[in-house]
Amino acid sequence: MRSLAICMTFAMLFTTCTKDLDLEPAYGLNSASVYEDPGNYINVLAKVYAGLAVSGNQGPAGSPDIAGIDEGFSQYTRVMWNLQEICTDEAVCGWNDVGIPELNTMEWTASNSFVKAGYSRIYFQITLCNEFIRESSDSKLDERGFSDSDKNRIRMMNREARFLRALSYWHAIDLFGNVPFVTEEDAVGAFLPEQIDRASLFNYIESELLAIEGGMSAPKSNDYGRADQGAAWMLLAKLYLNSQVYTGVARYAQAAEYAQRIINSGAYALSTEYRFLFLADNDEAPAVNEIIFPVRFDAMNTQTWGGGTFFVHAFLGNDTQDPVEFGVNGGWAGYRTKQAFSSKMDTVGDTRNTLHTEGHQQLVEQIGVWTNGFPNSKYRNVTKTGDLPADADPSGNHVNTDFPMFRLADAYLIYAEAAARGSADMGTAMGYVNDLRQRAYGDNAHKVSSMTPLEVLDERARELHWEGHRRTDLVRFGLFTSGDYVWEYKGNSPTGVGVPDYINLYPLSADDVVANPNLVQNTGY
């Protein structure tokens, strides 16, 4: 009896290992041999890009990059989307999955599993970027004796990896603030990164983007899905737009400058119809003309339970909607809008209003009830004609819908916000806004001649809802925590209450604060 109990405890809790496992790797590929061949760099870069799209080395799941959370939850765009949306007026999630209820009600702690997943995912991506940047440095390329044309090709990839690192550091500065700082100078291994303050990280991201943008591909001249100058300018514009939050110094004029560079490049054009931007063929004209930087998804080749698959399934419920119209085998019935947001939408004529109302009440009275709040039918796995894409997943699980992380309409509205704040030309700005409104309504009857900053914020909600911008926007306007603007279950009050200002930042992952004594947790947590 005694030994049985002990054996059972051991078997369930731990397994032990012996020195038999101290073997040398028996396979031929290692980092030295991979980087000897100039043809391999593109494959490694593909893994860096894939860091935004897939959750591990096996699709859709099975060999996760990061642990401690359901693999699908940990996918880059899925976890970022959750951290940006369900804590705001735009969205709520009814699932009782670990970590989600506290995001709905802004009651997260430093050990929240989405906080940990978002944080870990960002640093996994930064580590991947650092590795590629280190291995594609000029000195390494010289050492390996590559031809000049190979070197130039790899240098271009090196800039793209630096863009991707800047992108992840932008997510870090926005969500977590003062974070660990690692660059290509820090080789992989056992060390304790230093913490960087938010303003210094801002300067670093800015300097990186300014250093690489000149050498990147011209807008729309790279393979679709790879970063070009347009992507770098957009990231600069978004960085400057939020400079007041990140550094205490407003830089709206520079936000407008880089937004206008994108617009004036002439490489981009608004999609003819709003809805095309979120369909399975959004990698084709006219939608593709508007998209500055997408995260690409393919139903057969980049399978994941996050990304496009998540956007289509999770926002759809079988009780009140027809999955056939969405090109998938069924919904996951999770996410709806809150009334505070849905009441901003124009119910007549605005084609950006993609909310499904039939069978739903507008007010989110109970978070767990699917029919409380309108779901958003924005993302679909069908083409412009409403058909399944030609290379659809026969199982109906995975989708071809790309995620438009940066698009031209956002650049327009960045310029408009700068104008409304007195840092850019109002006439030009209203031209941009009216282009958006003309597309939205299909007529010229909804033009505006000037806008206040708050009106731009509302226009951003109507145009860019459920695209992962909302928390950042509300923080910039001081409305994320304030009691001046509330929504259902803000601060876990059914009618909404203000919450302390420290909530503007997520906490650093509690596990990392323990593991790395150099880190000081964000105030309040």
Partner 1 sequence: MNDRIYGSIDYYRKNTDDLLAVVDVVAGTNFTNEILTNVGSMTNEGLEIELSYIAIDKKDMDWRVGMNFTTNRNEVTKLTQVEDPNSPGILVGGISGGIGNNVQIHAVGHPTFSFYVYEQQYDASGSPINAGALRDRENPDFNGDGVVNALDRYSSLDAFVDRNNDGVINEDDRYIYEKPEPDFFMGFSTDFSYKRWSTAFNLRAEFDRYTYNNVNSQRGNFQSVPTNGSSTNLNSNFLETGFTNTSVEQFLSDYYIEKADFLRMDYFNVNYNFGKILNETMSLSMGVNVNNVFVLSDYSGIDPEVVGGIDNSIFPRPRIYSINLNVTL
* Ranges within 284-343 binding partner 1 (CB under 8 A): 317-319, 330-333
Task: Provide, rounded to whole angstroms, the least separation between the CB of residue 98 and partner 1.
Answer: 4
User: By CB under 8 A, what part of segment 120-139 binds partner 1?
Assistant: 120, 123-124, 126-128, 131
Of 35, 272, 19, 50, the closest CA to residue 154 belongs to: 35
CA dihedral 350, 355, 356, 359 (to 10 degrees): -110
Residue 390 tokens, joined: 């030609």
User: By CB under 8 A, what part of segment 184-203 binds partner 1?
Assistant: 186, 188-193
Residue with tokens 């004609």: 385
User: By CB under 8 A, is residue 35 in contact with partner 1?
Assistant: no
Tell me which of 35, 41, 108, 403 binds partner 1, using CB under 8 A: 108
Task: Provide, rounded to whole angstroms, the least separation between the CB of residue 505 and partner 1.
Answer: 16
What three-state secondary structure class fits 299? Answer: coil
Task: Provide, rounded to whole angstroms, the least separation between the CB of residue 466 and partner 1.
Answer: 20
How many Å apart are CA 252 and CA 237, to the nearest integer?
9
Residue 278 or 370 with smaller CB distance to partner 1: 370
Tell me which of 211, 285, 514, 520 binds partner 1, using CB under 8 A: 514
Task: Provide, rounded to whole angstroms, the least separation between the CB of residue 118 and partner 1.
Answer: 11
Residue with tokens 């001649």: 449
Residue 50 or 292 with smaller CB distance to partner 1: 50
User: By CB under 8 A, is residue 516 in contact with partner 1?
Assistant: yes
User: By CB under 8 A, what part of segment 342-401 binds partner 1?
Assistant: 363, 365-370
DSSP-derived secondary structure letter, 490 = G
Binding track, positions 148-187, relative to partner 1; x by CB under 8 A: --------------------------------xxx---x-
Task: Provide, rounded to whole angstroms, the least separation between the CB of residue 400 and partner 1.
Answer: 24
Task: Provide, rounded to whole angstroms, the least separation between the CB of residue 318 and partner 1.
Answer: 3
Taking the CA of residue 477 as centre, how many other CA atoms within 13 Å lie in the half-sphere pointing to its CB? 24
Tell me which of 36, 37, 97, 391 binds partner 1, using CB under 8 A: 97
User: By CB under 8 A, is residue 111 in contact with partner 1?
Assistant: yes
Task: Provide, rounded to whole angstroms, the least separation between the CB of residue 53 and partner 1.
Answer: 17
Let me know: does 446 contact 277? Beta carbons within 8 Å. Answer: no
Tell me which of 96, 149, 444, 449 binds partner 1, using CB under 8 A: 96
User: By CB under 8 A, what part of segment 436-495 binds partner 1?
Assistant: 488-489, 492, 494-495
Residue 9 or 272 with smaller CB distance to partner 1: 9
Task: Provide, rounded to whole angstroms, the least separation between the CB of residue 102 and partner 1.
Answer: 5
Residue 70 or 346 with smaller CB distance to partner 1: 70
DSSP-derived secondary structure letter, 295 = E
How many Å apart are CA 272 and CA 269, to the nearest integer?
9
Residue 81 or 332 with smaller CB distance to partner 1: 332
Tell me which of 34, 98, 211, 448 binds partner 1, using CB under 8 A: 98
Of 127, 129, 128, 158, the closest CA to residue 141 belongs to: 158
Residue 76 or 432 with smaller CB distance to partner 1: 76
User: By CB under 8 A, is residue 58 in contact with partner 1?
Assistant: no
Residue 442 or 524 with smaller CB distance to partner 1: 524
Query: 85-96: buried (b, 16+ CB within 10 Å) or exposed (e) per residue?
Result: bbbbbbbbbbee
Task: Provide, rounded to whole angstroms, the least separation between the CB of residue 369 and partner 1.
Answer: 8
Number of residues counted as binding partner 1 (CB under 8 A): 81
Tell me which of 17, 23, 29, 249 binds partner 1, using CB under 8 A: 17
How many Å apart are CA 417 and CA 386, to the nearest integer?
35
Residue 351 or 493 with smaller CB distance to partner 1: 493
Write out the DSSP string of 382-443: S-TTSPPPTT--TTS------EEEEEHHHHHHHHHHHHHTTSS-HHHHHHHHHHHHHHHHSS
Residue 46 or 285 with smaller CB distance to partner 1: 46
Residue 207 or 493 with smaller CB distance to partner 1: 493
Task: Provide, rounded to whole angstroms, the least separation between the CB of residue 228 and partner 1.
Answer: 27
Write the CB contacts of 7 (distance below 8 Å, at least 6 apart in sequence). Answer: none
How many Å apart are CA 62 and CA 143, to the nearest integer?
37
Task: Provide, rounded to whole angstroms, the least separation between the CB of residue 368 and partner 1.
Answer: 6
Task: Provide, rounded to whole angstroms, the least separation between the CB of residue 191 and partner 1.
Answer: 6
What three-state secondary structure class fits 291? Answer: strand
Residue 2 or 25 with smaller CB distance to partner 1: 2
How many Å apart are CA 74 and CA 76, to the nearest integer?
6
Write out the DSSP string of 125-165: HHHHHHHHHHHTSHHHHHHTT--HHHHHHHHHHHHHHHHHH
Residue 124 or 477 with smaller CB distance to partner 1: 124
Helix (H) or strand (E) holding 92: strand 92-93
What three-state secondary structure class fits 61? Answer: coil
How remote is the C-alpha of 27 from its chain's centroid? 36
